[in-house]
Structure 1
Amino acid sequence: MSQVSKHFMSSKISEKVYGVFINCIKSSKSQTETVEFLNDLLSPPEKTMLAKRVAIAFMLLENKYTYEEISNTLKISFGTIAKVNSAFALKGNGYKKIIGNFVLKKSIRNSLSEFLDLIKPSTRTLMGEVFLKPKIKSKLKREEPL
């Protein structure tokens, strides 16, 4: 997991450092250049953390998946999902613009569809009951006493 220094920079320096970081990403001329930069900059756990947050945003925008399904699929805590969800509710313009534009692009829409096809939407009813999946039903039927 990523570590943050216990020593804080002044807000003025922090803003400048953040600006440099954003400008570095913006200045890349190609996707390859951006990927190389991020691979050099981020550790594997940091890349995974960011990718999972983007995936959470996709799944929340689809509005088909429960917290439990998102958590089980991406192996993340409900707190992480809630953090992304609250970012949508309070200040989600960045998520909505970038991911919304991302979804509109055909090639990306196909990869998103492939990702979402790996996950089954919720089968819960309004009362919170869960329908048994066919494999579970057949297993229970086989185990019934004669």
Structure 2
Amino acid sequence: MQKEITDSLVRIMTKIKDGALLQKFLDDLLTPAEKLMLAKRLMVAVLLQRGYSCGAVCRALKLSRGTVFLIQRELARGGDGYRTVFREFFQESYNKKTAGAIERFLNKITLPVKGSPSSMRRWKHALYQ
């Protein structure tokens, strides 16, 4: 029964082609906290695949180590869903607007190299952008 319910949700979401309609649907379906948690989980997978440590991801996204480790474990086991989404939307810069937002976020959480003025300028610029 649970699989049928979740399959129905997936079918509905894949049939919605209009971004504005999908946004309205998600606004009605999920609480703001649920939407934020889903977005954070996706960002965890992106950051881990970009080579960030679990600790850095926990601090940047304000998530528990348990949440980050669950996603890290899924990636280690294969994580085909995460990896496909990462490849399609982030690695190949398929969606330039989203990729740009991700890069700005990464610049904000990537701490400057100690003693490097250019790294400090990059970080300050990213913070106040």
The TM tier, using the shorter chain, reads 0.7 to 0.9
- 2:62 equivalent in structure 1: 75
Separation in structure 1 between the aligned mates of residue 97 and residue 116 of structure 2, nearest angstrom: 32
Structure 1 portions without partners, runs of 5+: 1-12, 124-130, 135-146
Displacement after TM superposition at 1:122 (Å): 8.9
Task: Supply the AA of the counterpart residue of 1:59.
Answer: L
Displacement after TM superposition at 1:58 (Å): 1.0
Structure 2 portions without partners, runs of 5+: 118-129
Task: Supply the AA of the counterpart residue of 1:107.
Answer: K
For these two proteins, the number of residue pairs brought into alignment is 114
Q: Which has the higher contact order (CA 8 A, sep 6+)?
A: 1
CA RMSD, 1 decimal:
2.1
Q: Quote the sequence identity (%).
A: 28
- 2:123 equivalent in structure 1: none
User: Of residues 30, 35, 41 in structure 1, which corresponds to 2:23?
Assistant: 35
Task: Supply the AA of the counterpart residue of 1:41.
Answer: L
- 1:19 equivalent in structure 2: 7
Separation in structure 1 between the aligned mates of residue 115 and residue 59 of structure 2, nearest angstrom: 17
Q: Normalising by structure 1, what TM-score?
A: 0.71
- Listed as ranges, the matches of 1:131-142 within 5 Å are none
Separation in structure 2 between the aligned mates of residue 33 and residue 121 of structure 1, nearest angstrom: 38
Separation in structure 1 between the aligned mates of residue 111 and residue 48 of structure 2, nearest angstrom: 12
User: Of residues 45, 49, 70 in structure 1, which corresponds to 2:37?
Assistant: 49
Which of the pair is proportionally richer in helix?
A: 2
Q: Normalising by structure 2, what TM-score?
A: 0.79
Separation in structure 1 between the aligned mates of residue 54 and residue 112 of structure 2, nearest angstrom: 10
Displacement after TM superposition at 1:108 (Å): 2.5
